[in-house]
Amino acid sequence: MAGHISARNGVLACVTDGVTTEQQAFEMVVALHRLVRSLRHAVRENSLQPTQILVLTQLVGTGPMRVGELAAGVPCSQPTATVAVASLESAGYVRREPDPADGRAIRVVITETGRDLLLSLAHGEARELAGRLNRLDLVDPELLHQTVTLLDKLSGR
């Protein structure tokens, strides 16, 4: 199985003798970063940083969380999560509240404004990506499903 691109995973895996090399993995990381950055740039409706978007996404998915839990879920360092939460709070996208399980602790909660912003961003990025995929004119729904599944597995989900 000398060097080839997997037909099932198309853009996701270049295989050389059955093994994805570190260089190929690096190229995939760069391509994924470029894709995400270009999607966000195309729908530049806000000035949120990627970590802030991930914090909002985490809160929508799991509900109120302590900053340390957010850091683990994003993932990022606790100081990075603290800075992201402070910025989001000052913009009105999240608020802090006492943790009912431990009154000394504080949980971060997404506000309706934060939820609305995240929904707007997600829809804008999804529309942009769908348009790009449609222009490629080679979209196989099963391949897209497999790609999403693979990306979720690679991200630890």
- Looking at residues 6-32, what average pLDDT do you find? 67
Does residue 87 register a pLDDT over 90?
yes
Three-state SS for 76?
coil
List of residues 6+ apart from 2 with CB closer than 8 A? 16, 17
- Looking at residues 26-30, what average pLDDT do you find? 88
Cα–Cα distance list, 144 to 12, 25, 78, 86, 134 (Å): 11, 19, 34, 36, 12
Does residue 15 register a pLDDT over 90?
no
Structure tokens belonging to residue 152:
């979720």
pLDDT at 57: 93
- Looking at residues 85-108, what average pLDDT do you find? 95
- Looking at residues 99-111, what average pLDDT do you find? 94
Would you give the distance in Å from CA 146 to the centre of its chain?
Answer: 17
Cα–Cα distance list, 134 to 117, 122, 124 (Å): 26, 18, 15
Q: What is the pLDDT of residues 53-81, one digit of tens each?
A: 999 999 999 999 999 999 999 999 999 99
The CATH number given to 48-157 is 1.10.10.10
Q: To the nearest 10°, report the CA torsion of 51, 57, 59, 60.
A: 170
Does residue 10 register a pLDDT over 60?
no
Domain ranges of the chain: 1-42, 48-157
pLDDT at 136: 82
Average pLDDT along the chain: 84
DSSP state for residue 155 in the 8-state scheme? T
- Looking at residues 96-111, what average pLDDT do you find? 94
Structure tokens belonging to residue 103:
């009154």
Does residue 108 register a pLDDT over 70?
yes
